[in-house]
Structures are given as C-alpha cells and as structure tokens.
C-alpha cells in the first residue's frame, strides 16, 4: 500500500501522508512508470472540483459508486450496542439465552480474554478491498456480481461502538462516515448527494472480526437457535432481533425499518466468529404516497485470525449483499454485490486520539446550532 505522495513542486520537500493509503494494484493502473503514476494521481486530485458535476456521465458513475460504497462499504446497523453486559446473570435467562451467553464467554476467551480486551482503549485499522456488483434483474432469477472489480482502501478509527470514523476510497469516489456518540453521518465526494445523518449507530465493518469486545457485547443479547456447518466448521447459531424501540429510533419520514435480524455463527472447535449475517426490510416513502420495499441480506465470512498485542483479530474476509426491491408500483428486482477485504495494519491505543477527532462535518454542526 502506498501511504506517501512525493512533492512535485519541490524535490527537497517532505512527502505528503495520504489520508487513505492507495492499494498497489490501484496505483499500478495509473500509468507505466512510478513518476507518471504519481503525476496522474496529482492531476486527478486537483480535478476534484464542482465543474466535473456538469457531466452526466461522471454524475451517473459517481451515483453508482456512492450507492455501492454505502450498501457494501459502510453499512450501519440500526441498533445500540450496550457496553459491559457481562454482569447479566445467566441463571435468570431462558435456556436459549443462557446458552448464547456461555458461547459468548467461550468466544471472549478465544479472542484473547478480558484482560487483553480491557487494555484496548482505541483502534486504528488500514485495509484494502475489491468490490463487484450485478445490474438489477427482474423476477427471482439467480444473479451474480459480474462487473469489473473496483479496487480501494479504507482507514478506520474507533474509541467505542458509538465513537468511530471511516474513510473509504474506491475508484476515485470517497466516502467519510462517523459517529460522535450523539449523531452518526455519512458523506461522499459526490457533491450532489446530501450528507445523511441519524442517531449514533455501530459500523457493521467493526463486527467483522475487528472489534471483539463490541461483538461480544452485542451477542450477549442473543439466543442460541441451533447449529450449522460453515466451511467445514460446526458452528453454533446466535440470533438477535432488533427491538422495536431501536427500529423506531432509526426510522424517519423518508423510510420505515420494518425488521432487522442478526445471526452470528461461532465455531464449536475454536470459539471464534466465522460468519456474521444480517437481514433488513424497510419501506421507502415517496412524495406521491407510494411505498417501495427494500430487503437487504448481508453475509460476511470472517477468516485469517491473527493476534495483535494479545487480541485475536480477523485479517480477511468476504461479504456478499443481495438486495430485493418490490412493491405495488415497482416490479420485483434483485441485485448482488460482493466484497473481498484484507486488513493490512491494526494499531491499538492510538496516542492523541480524542473525542474531537470524531467531530461531524461543519454543515451538520451548523444545523445543530440553528435547531
């Protein structure tokens, strides 16, 4: 991954640290030599002006990329993770809930144990990904993500499930998402798309093997519903139905979340989380009174666990997303997305990472002051 950009105006000047590192494959495709690649990247960065939005071709491409990065690259979960739930008594729970708590205890031991997790106060992770997608297909026919893979990279910062920031760059389109504990937001380099905001929510990507403590706290709310073999691993299945109060809190005038369910598949052999799955159904309300249903099913296979300062962190995985769109005024459509991701670096207890780092964009700060 390329993390430094040369200064082309002064040879004796210091190199610039890139906000989001550039994957080697993405850098190689920018030219035939190193100098030409950096020059092309510099030209591209300087061209990120409002003039480019006058081109319909560019607008359509960025709308598609933004949709892709919101759905696959930076999805948020419509719930709250209650921290430090391990004080809940197993005896006062149902058999299914007690079994789930026992499985979570085994998971926390496999991930490094409570002392190692308690020593982690903050996190920074750098990774790269490849995303592909299909077009919308009508009916129930099988679809597969077949478009050319888009290569990108991301940087994650976190202090707790409601205090985090993500910077994601794919094929020239950048998405910044975050939460400061009071609101969460997402914005893209697509200047025609407004900044979206809502109550604080966890980023799904952290629960794909990057944040074991939050994963454990989340599944303490689950029940065990059975067993299943995943990639030749016999696994326990833990299930969480998001509460009605959480769904209502994350619903607004534009859409209503009807249900949201999470499943975790924990290996009986290692105790580790090997698959994370969730399904969401919402209805989008249009000005003419029509409503269209959107059902999103996401499955993440989590692999390559490695210890970082005593904590077992997943370093790669695959995520597949299937979207169904249907309703009285909309034909049934189906679309598939796929993402392959790897983690290049993980750092704990980042010096100087304060709450000010997670401040929302100025536009949202001005809105809060005027309301």
* pLDDT string in tens for the chain (371-residue length): 666 666 666 666 666 666 667 666 666 666 666 666 666 666 555 545 445 545 555 566 667 778 888 888 889 998 888 776 555 555 667 899 999 999 999 999 999 999 999 999 999 999 999 998 877 666 666 656 566 688 889 999 999 888 999 999 887 788 899 999 999 999 887 655 667 888 899 999 999 999 999 999 999 999 999 999 999 999 999 999 999 999 988 887 778 899 999 999 999 999 999 999 999 999 987 766 677 889 999 999 999 999 999 999 999 999 999 998 887 656 678 889 999 999 999 999 999 899 899 998 887 766 555 44
CA 186 to chain centre: 11
Sequence-distant (6+) residues with CB within 8 A of 277 are 262, 263, 264, 265, 297, 298, 299, 300
* pLDDT for 53: 47
Report pTM. Answer: 0.84
Tell which residue, 76, 323, 296, has the closest CA to residue 198. Answer: 76
Q: Which two tokens stand for residue 222?
A: 């689950």
* pLDDT for 306: 97
CA atoms within 13 A on the CB side of 143: 22
Do the beta carbons of residue 154 and residue 126 sit within 8 Å?
A: yes
* pLDDT for 138: 65
* Count of CB atoms situated within 10 Å of the CB of 177: 25
CA atoms within 13 A on the CB side of 293: 12
Do the beta carbons of residue 147 and residue 132 sit within 8 Å?
A: yes
* pLDDT for 285: 78
* pLDDT for 80: 84
Q: Which two tokens stand for residue 165?
A: 């920031």
């Amino acid at each position: 991954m390329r993390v430094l950009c040369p200064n082309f105006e002064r040879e004796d000047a210091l190199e610039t640290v890139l906000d989001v590192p550039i994957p080697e494959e993405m850098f190689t495709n920018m030219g035939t030599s190193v100098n030409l690649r950096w020059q092309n990247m510099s030209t591209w960065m300087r061209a990120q002006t409002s003039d480019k939005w006058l081109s319909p071709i560019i607008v359509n491409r960025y709308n598609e990329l933004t949709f892709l990065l919101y759905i696959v690259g930076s999805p948020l979960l419509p719930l709250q993770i209650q921290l430090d739930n391990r004080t809940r008594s197993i005896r006062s729970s149902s058999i299914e809930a007690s079994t789930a708590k026992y499985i979570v205890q085994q998971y926390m031991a496999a991930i490094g144990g409570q002392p190692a997790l308690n020593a982690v106060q903050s996190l920074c992770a750098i990774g790269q990904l490849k995303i592909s997608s299909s077009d919308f297909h009508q009916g129930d026919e099988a679809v597969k993500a077949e478009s050319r893979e888009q290569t990108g990279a991301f940087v994650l910062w976190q202090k707790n499930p409601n205090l985090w920031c993500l910077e994601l760059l794919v094929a020239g389109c950048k998405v910044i998402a975050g939460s400061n504990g009071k609101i969460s937001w997402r914005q893209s380099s697509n200047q025609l798309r407004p900044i979206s905001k809502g109550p604080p929510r966890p980023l799904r990507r952290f629960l794909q093997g990057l944040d074991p403590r939050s994963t454990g706290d989340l599944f303490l709310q689950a029940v065990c519903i059975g067993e299943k073999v995943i990639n030749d691993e016999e696994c326990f299945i833990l299930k969480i139905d998001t509460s009605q109060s959480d769904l209502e809190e994350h619903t607004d005038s534009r859409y209503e979340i009807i249900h949201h369910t999470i499943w975790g598949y924990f290996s009986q052999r290692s105790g580790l989380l090997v698959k994370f799955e969730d399904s969401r159904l919402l209805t989008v309300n249009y000005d003419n009174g029509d409503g269209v249903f959107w059902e999103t099913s996401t499955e993440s296979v989590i692999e390559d666990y490695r210890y970082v300062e005593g904590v077992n962190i997943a370093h790669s995985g695959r995520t597949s997303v299937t979207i169904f769109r249907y309703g009285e005024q909309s034909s049934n459509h189906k679309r598939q997305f796929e993402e392959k991701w790897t983690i290049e670096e993980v750092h704990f207890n980042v010096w100087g990472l304060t709450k000010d780092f997670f401040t929302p964009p100025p536009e949202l700060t001005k809105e809060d002051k005027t309301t």
